[in-house]
C-alpha cells in the first residue's frame, strides 16, 4: 500500500480535529501520521495527515474531506516537490560506556543534545521520516527510555501555497 500525505486547511474551531479524524475512523482510512497547528491566520488551522491506500482510496479520502464544512482546502503532496520534516526527541540512558557512542551517532545525524544529566541524555533530531527511522534504529543499540515524534509536516517547494480561497 502506498503512503501519501495531505495538508488540510480547516476552520480554527473547537472540535474540528475530531470531525476530521472521525471521518477517517468511520470510513476506515488509516492515519499513519498526524500533525496539527494554527497557521499564520488565527482563522485557520492546518492538519497534515499521512495515510495509505491506492489511488481510488486517496481520491475518496480527499472527496470525503471536502464534504466537511469546516474543511476549506486540501493539498495533496507530490513527494518530489515537497519538503517534509519530523522532529524527534529521544531520551536514552546515559552511562560512561554509552556516552561516546551516543554523541557520535547524534553528530553523524546532525542531532542536538538538548538535555544532559548523569542518568539520561535527550537528543533532538529533525529530518524526513526515513532519517528519523534510521536514527531510532541506531538508538536501539542503547537503552531508550522514551521517544516522542511530532508527526510529519510538509510544505510544497516554491511559491505555491495551499489555496485558502477554495470553498467547496
Partner 1 sequence: MKLSGSDIIVRTLIEQGVDVVFGYPGGQVINIYDSLYKYQDELKHVLTAHEQGASHAADGYARATGKVGVCIATSGPGATNLVTGIATAYIDSVPLVAITGNVPTTVIGTDGFQEIDITGVTLPITKHNYFVGSIEDLADTIREAFRLAKSGRPGPVLIDVPKDVQVAKYDYEPQPVVEADESRAAKDIRIQQAAECINEAQRPFIYFGGGLITSEAQDELLQMAELIDAPIGCSMMGISGVPTDYPRFLGMQGMHGHYACSMGMHNADCIIALGARFNDRVTGNRAKFARTAKIVHIDIDGAELNKTVTAAHGLRGDVKKTLQKLIPLLKKTEHPEWQAKIAQLVEEEEAGLDSREGMTPRNVINALNRYLGENTPVATDVGQHQMWAAQYVNFKNSRRFISSGGLGTMGFGMGAAMGAQMGTGERSVLITGDGSFGMNLNELATAVAENIPMVILLLNNSVLGMVRQWQTLFFDKHYSNTMLTGRQTDFVKLAEAFGAKASRALTLEELESSLQEAFAWNGPYLIDCAIDKDEFVLPMLPPGGSMDDIIVRIGD
Question: Which of 32, 39, 64, 133 touches partner 1 (CB under 8 A)?
Answer: 64
The residue range among 1-9, 32-40, 62-70, 94-102 that interacts with partner 1, by the rule CB under 8 A, is 62-70
Of 45, 26, 24, the residue nearest 36 (C-alpha): 45
Confirm or reject binding of residue 11 to partner 1 (CB under 8 A).
no
Q: Pattern of binders to partner 1 over 15-34, x per CB under 8 A?
A: x--xx--xx--x--------
Whether the CB-CB separation of 48 and 34 falls below 8 Å is answered with yes
The torsion angles phi and psi of 142, rounded to 5 degrees, stand at -105, -175
# binding residues, partner 1 (CB under 8 A): 16
Q: Where are the alpha helices (DSSP H) in 52-95?
A: 55-66
The residue range among 11-19, 39-47, 147-155, 156-164 that interacts with partner 1, by the rule CB under 8 A, is 11-19
Closer residue to partner 1 in complex, CB, 16/121: 16
In the bound complex, what is the minimum distance in angstroms from residue 64's beta carbon to partner 1? 5
Q: Any residues with CB less than 8 A from the CB of 51 and at least 6 apart, and which?
A: 3, 4, 5, 6, 24, 29, 30, 31, 32, 57, 58, 61
Cell of 37: 497547528
**How many Å apart are CA 130 and CA 70, to the nearest integer?**
32
Confirm or reject binding of residue 140 to partner 1 (CB under 8 A).
no
- Name the site residues for partner 1 (rule: CB under 8 A): 15, 18-19, 22-23, 26, 56, 59-60, 63-64, 66-70
Amino acid at each position: 500500500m502506498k503512503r501519501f500525505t495531505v495538508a488540510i486547511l480547516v476552520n480554527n474551531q473547537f472540535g474540528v480535529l475530531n470531525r476530521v479524524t472521525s471521518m477517517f475512523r468511520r470510513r476506515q482510512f488509516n492515519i499513519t501520521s498526524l500533525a496539527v497547528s494554527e497557521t499564520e491566520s488565527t482563522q485557520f488551522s492546518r492538519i497534515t495527515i499521512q495515510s495509505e491506500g491506492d489511488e481510488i482510496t486517496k481520491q475518496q479520502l480527499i472527496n470525503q474531506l471536502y464534504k466537511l464544512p469546516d474543511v476549506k482546502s486540501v493539498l495533496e503532496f507530490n513527494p518530489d516537490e515537497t519538503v517534509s520534516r519530523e522532529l524527534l526527541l529521544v531520551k536514552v540512558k546515559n552511562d560512561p560506556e554509552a556516552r561516546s557512542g551516543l554523541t557520535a551517532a547524534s553528530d553523524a545525524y546532525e542531532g542536538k543534545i538538548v538535555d544532559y544529566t548523569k542518568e539520561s541524555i535527550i537528543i533532538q533530531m529533525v529530518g524526513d521520516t526515513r532519517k528519523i527511522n534510521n536514527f531510532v534504529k541506531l538508538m536501539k543499540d542503547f537503552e531508550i527510555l522514551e521517544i516522542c515524534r511530532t508527526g510529519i509536516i510538509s510544505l510544497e517547494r516554491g511559491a505555491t501555497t495551499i489555496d485558502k480561497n477554495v470553498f467547496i
